[in-house]
Amino acid sequence: MALTKEQYRELYEKLDTVFPVPYDCGTICGKACCGVSGFDREMAEEDMGLYLYPGEDELLKEDADWLRWSEETVEEEDIQEVDGLSALFPPSFLQKKLCFVRCKDPLRCHRAYRPLQCRFFPTLPHLMNAGTKRERLVLIWNDMDLPYSCPLIEDEVELDKEWLATVYDVWQTLLEDPMVHDMVAMDSLDRMEEVGMPTVLWPRFRFHR
């Protein structure tokens, strides 16, 4: 079952006072992940957006005028492998409606309502031994095919431990939603098949590719 609006508010508040690095990393890359550097509206419309987690839209609707919204229904072809490429979504997403948002203008970000995906960057969740009794959550570098380059990822900059611990804690709550768990498990299994075990950022123990 999806988290409630108030549960999402609590997660947002946890992440309001911690940051991945002790400086504005956007000064290095021109806020590339926000789409500010070399801002091209046509590119931003097409690439610079993200899916909200189930139920997250209810909180963002409190302050939604700075975002472009679209709603998509997951169809049969979205949960199937095509020409060797992984499915876009796990089977539990079939016929579910997902919200996709884009900034109308990245220079006018309403930071108090930044979606969780923005707040988690530059990390991703990974489930070791996904789908088994030995399943364990870890945080890794974001390894998605991004339309920009992030200096934090490229240089593997050391991230703030308090921020990592908070992101980890928030993910443990998010994974209580079966749909979110299924998505992370699918991505984790795909990653293991394609590249093997990624470097773990949090918790701190040694695992390398």
Q: What angle do CA 186, 187, 192 make, to 5 degrees?
A: 100
If you average pLDDT over residues 116-137, what whole number do you get? 97
What pLDDT, on a 0 to 100 scale, did the predictor assign at position 42?
52
One-letter amino acid identity for 172? Q
Between these two residues, 52 and 105, which has the higher pLDDT value?
Answer: 52
Highest mean pLDDT among 4-13, 31-40, 146-155: 4-13
What pLDDT, on a 0 to 100 scale, did the predictor assign at position 206?
53
Give me the residue label for tokens 């530059």. 122
What pLDDT, on a 0 to 100 scale, did the predictor assign at position 209?
45
Between these two residues, 121 and 47, which has the higher pLDDT value?
Answer: 121
What pLDDT, on a 0 to 100 scale, did the predictor assign at position 39?
46
What pLDDT, on a 0 to 100 scale, did the predictor assign at position 149?
82
The domains of the chain are located at 5-198
What pLDDT, on a 0 to 100 scale, did the predictor assign at position 85?
82
Q: Is 52 exposed, middle or buried (0-12, 13-18, 19+ CB in 10 A)?
A: buried
The model's pLDDT over 189-202, given as tens digits with 9 standing for 90+, comes to: 999 999 999 999 99
Q: Is the dihedral of CA 140, 123, 22, 43 positive or negative?
A: positive
What pLDDT, on a 0 to 100 scale, did the predictor assign at position 205?
64
The model's pLDDT over 143-188, given as tens digits with 9 standing for 90+, comes to: 988 877 888 999 999 999 999 999 999 999 999 999 999 999 999 9
What pLDDT, on a 0 to 100 scale, did the predictor assign at position 146?
81
The model's pLDDT over 40-97, given as tens digits with 9 standing for 90+, comes to: 545 544 557 899 999 999 999 999 899 999 999 999 999 998 877 889 999 999 999 9
What pLDDT, on a 0 to 100 scale, did the predictor assign at position 46?
53
Between these two residues, 65 and 109, which has the higher pLDDT value?
Answer: 65
Q: Tell me the DSSP string of 141-183.
A: E--S--SS--HHHHTTPPPPHHHHHHHHHHHHHHTTSHHHHHH
User: In which band, very low, low, confident or very high, does the pLDDT at 30 lie, cut at 50, 70 and 90?
Assistant: low
Q: Tell me the DSSP string of the chain.
A: -PPPHHHHHHHHHHHSS--SSSS-THHHHTSGGGT-TT--HHHHHHTSEEEPPTTHHHHHGGG-TTEEEEEEE--GGGGS-BTTBPPSS-GGGTT-EEEEEEES-GGG--GGG--HHHHHTTEEEEEETTTSTT-EEEEEE--S--SS--HHHHTTPPPPHHHHHHHHHHHHHHTTSHHHHHHHHHHHHHHHHHT-SPPEEES------
What does the block give as tokens for 13? 């508040």
Tell whether pTM > 0.85: yes
Given a cut of 80, whether residue 16 has pLDDT beyond it is yes
What does the block give as tokens for 86? 């992984």
